[in-house]
Structure 1
């Protein structure tokens, strides 16, 4: 068995340590969370307290937990889009097993220590990163942070948050500004908390979903395709049809059957720097809000309107159907933050400059316009 390795993640005052007998797992955590959540290695022998995820390739433990769950009363639920068998005992320990993925979870100490036994390194690494992120999220929410559905960039410490429904242009806006020197803080959601006179913003690390058409329009398509042809990989949550389209050189948007949801390229956080020369930002203070919309024929400009923050701009437990808190990590806090925290953030955001913008299909003109606007906020 390999010598255990440990990686610690730190976001504001929240931290979690990933300890594993499989270096692939800790390497993955360090790569995935990177500068966004200050991922760094620590001596495995020094890990003795604090939130902890212990993960390893361990067929024996997996088989034991599978037998344990199936031999007692249990629920069958969906977690991470797959079947999970879930059991709770009188001590508060929660055990879950995903037979299809070959993963077994055991949550103890009210979610302060989660053990994961897996049968393959990649699935184990994905599950470990997911649980570690949920533990950080739970700690931040208990500490008064709230979670917004927004992209964000940072320039000179000042964060510009972009809101909108699917297809409004949140990702487009963030990537255009990151391509002009702003630090990319988040592609889809951010943590926000009122601290003194500031409204502080933290990233939510995740793979970024970028459509094939947008990737091409941004001038990044050939970079991604060349990397794939050269043997590098994108995030494993990417659908195989997207990989096949890239390798075949197809650039048009790719849709799921029924045409309601676009299948997108899934970019690792570290690939923004290595592939696209875009820097990641670890924090900022909110300075302004953007509400974009896309009109193919439009010249980019400020437009009139009354768009302001709504309930849909805040994440909530109802929106977290993919990763419900089945392992008791949140201790009853809603997935988007407490009511008082949300009200405090909403009030502060309402006082910041709001800008409604229209963007066209001229990428260079969009980038010039957004860069000028951001420089004034």
Structure 2
């Protein structure tokens, strides 16, 4: 008879419980979400109400659900970069099968109860964490939070948010400040909500993508390489070419074939503290906005400009592009928050101090410069 274990996640007033017949899944959830979303073990026999993700390692059930979906009219879609056959019955139950990953999904009660079944344990753990995160996201957005495309660090409970497109320097800014005493709240996105007179900020736990060149410039390359050589692992979404480059000691950036996107190191959330000594923050009040830009030949400095928040600074769509809301978790809420909440947050953010900065390739000069800005919060 299977023994079940359970982990509960909570962020603000949103919570989800992960229940599984293999402890690898619930251990993974506690590790992945950690202090960011207050992940802790709960007795499996206490799980009776509230949003729930049940994760079963059960090859037969995957086969049975694949047969069921194949016998019905179904749509062929993409989810988490994998094929997904998807069908919905007359009661609103959504069933999906991902043959490439050996996974099956069943969503009930308008996305409030989701079952994930897998043939092998690691894909099951990744898929379960992904669903649990999307359920938390949906609950927070329904409660008036918005989701910004920004990194964030915290000093004394006050958050400095950095905005910009890919390559602008959001990750560089966050990691430089976290390396000199600031707490790391988010690498790429944050939840924000007006609470009284404050603009509250919550983290979005996820693997962080850090380029090999940036990792080297920050003095973290050898830490990662030594850990890998000792048998530890980075996040499994990392491309094998990146792992091979690290083990071989190659430090130059890696690019997808044809000059596409850079292939980066994928760091678990908990590895920022365990490997790099960068402590996490779990919440803060927004205090200032930073708009960085990288110019390799420049000395770090403040620059004039009229950069303000735009639509690209808010996450949008039912969910992010890799994880469309195929399982009805969002219940119609936009992936970046309601228009009313977004407008209110944008107004509050516009009233905060704005700093447009240029950063060069001198790491120590960048760190000293950014620290002075952070200390002024």
With the shorter chain as reference, the TM-score category is over 0.9
SS in structure 1 of the partner of residue 159 of structure 2: strand
Q: How far apart, CA to CA, are the structure 2 residues paired with 1:9 and 1:56?
A: 18
Deviations 1:67-97 (A, max 9, x none): 1100011100000001000000010100000
Q: How far apart, CA to CA, are the structure 1 residues paired with 2:372 and 2:271?
A: 26
Q: How far apart, CA to CA, are the structure 2 residues paired with 1:149 and 1:106?
A: 30
Q: How far apart, CA to CA, are the structure 1 residues paired with 2:320 and 2:371?
A: 33
Correspondence 1:174-185 to 2 at 5 A? 174-185=174-185
Aligned to 2:82: 82
Aligned to 2:306: 306
Structure 1: where are the runs of 5+ without partners? none
Contact 2:319–2:334 under 8 Å retained in 1: no
Contact 2:86–2:97 under 8 Å retained in 1: yes
Q: How far apart, CA to CA, are the structure 2 residues paired with 1:319 and 1:261?
A: 21
In structure 2, the CA distance between the partners of 1:132 and 1:216, relative to structure 1 (3 Å rule), is same
Q: How far apart, CA to CA, are the structure 1 residues paired with 2:201 and 2:141?
A: 13
SS in structure 2 of the partner of residue 137 of structure 1: helix
Aligned to 1:9: 9
Q: How far apart, CA to CA, are the structure 2 residues paired with 1:153 and 1:56?
A: 37
Structure 2: where are the runs of 5+ without partners? none
Correspondence 1:37-116 to 2 at 5 A? 37-116=37-116
**1:320 shift after superposition:** 1.6
Deviations 1:12-46 (A, max 9, x none): 00000000011000010000000000000000000
SS in structure 2 of the partner of residue 200 of structure 1: strand
Q: How far apart, CA to CA, are the structure 2 residues paired with 1:167 and 1:105?
A: 35
Contact 2:318–2:330 under 8 Å retained in 1: no
Aligned to 1:265: 265
**1:319 shift after superposition:** 7.1
Aligned to 2:198: 198
Q: How far apart, CA to CA, are the structure 2 residues paired with 1:24 and 1:146?
A: 32
Deviations 1:170-215 (A, max 9, x none): 0000000000111100000000001110000001100000000000
Q: How far apart, CA to CA, are the structure 2 residues paired with 1:219 and 1:180?
A: 13
Q: How far apart, CA to CA, are the structure 1 residues paired with 2:90 and 2:2?
A: 34
Q: How far apart, CA to CA, are the structure 1 residues paired with 2:216 and 2:333?
A: 41
Aligned to 1:359: 359
SS in structure 1 of the partner of residue 285 of structure 2: strand
Q: How far apart, CA to CA, are the structure 1 residues paired with 2:5 and 2:183?
A: 30
Correspondence 1:237-248 to 2 at 5 A? 237-248=237-248
**1:302 shift after superposition:** 0.8
Is 1:134–2:134 an aligned residue pair? yes
Structure 1 runs of 4+ aligned residues shifted over 3 Å read: none
SS in structure 1 of the partner of residue 275 of structure 2: helix
Aligned to 1:326: 326
SS in structure 2 of the partner of residue 299 of structure 1: coil
Deviations 1:206-226 (A, max 9, x none): 000000000000000000000
Aligned to 1:221: 221
Q: How far apart, CA to CA, are the structure 2 residues paired with 1:226 and 1:238?
A: 17
Contact 2:154–2:184 under 8 Å retained in 1: yes
SS in structure 1 of the partner of residue 270 of structure 2: helix
Q: How far apart, CA to CA, are the structure 2 residues paired with 1:261 and 1:64?
A: 38
SS in structure 2 of the partner of residue 134 of structure 1: helix
Q: How far apart, CA to CA, are the structure 2 residues paired with 1:256 and 1:116?
A: 31
Q: How far apart, CA to CA, are the structure 2 residues paired with 1:212 and 1:318?
A: 32
Q: How far apart, CA to CA, are the structure 1 residues paired with 2:320 and 2:273?
A: 28
**1:260 shift after superposition:** 2.6
Compute the TM-score of the two structures, normalised by the length of structure 2: 0.99
Deviations 1:327-363 (A, max 9, x none): 0011100111100010010000000000001101000
**1:2 shift after superposition:** 4.0
How many residues end up aligned between the 2 structures?
377
Q: How far apart, CA to CA, are the structure 1 residues paired with 2:111 and 2:319?
A: 21
Deviations 1:225-282 (A, max 9, x none): 0000000000000000000000000000000012131000000000001100000111
